[in-house]
Structure 1
């Protein structure tokens, strides 16, 4: 789905697949970080997401590649952006410090 693009008045192609997919990944990981006290759920989701993107970027036994541009020699910017962008989003969200600072002790 990251390959979907729409032509804007014939001037350029807008990659709406990436525009939707990268923020969706960000919202998923941020939501998990905010919902749970520990980072375990977001770490597991990040590992699963990056692992699946990496797995889909590999050539299958038949030679087909689901994320083109991730293999040397393939010229596909959207595939490369999806591969690198999804990994960077996961790393940044997981490495971001917890907001809110110290909480007051309850009695």
Structure 2
């Protein structure tokens, strides 16, 4: 069971964009995020369980940014595994950059 949770933390971190991205979301050092995926036996390891206060922060971030992350994903990672295997990006919003629009206009002239 510990291995499943360890994989769960790593999967959620990967799904959200990696350790550095998640560290920025929760305003913590990357080392803190890495410890979530450490087994309990390792010093300060969380056994792959993301602490509840950070789960809430990640869920709020996901909701605000159109990312399909659900509370059950923190304990049952099969849905996220399936999404990632199908290579569906987690972010559903596509942002247009004004610089890209400008570059397109320049190329057309």
Q: TM-score, normalised by structure 2?
A: 0.26
More strand by share: 1
- Larger helix share, 1 or 2: 2
Normalised by the length of structure 1, the TM-score is 0.26
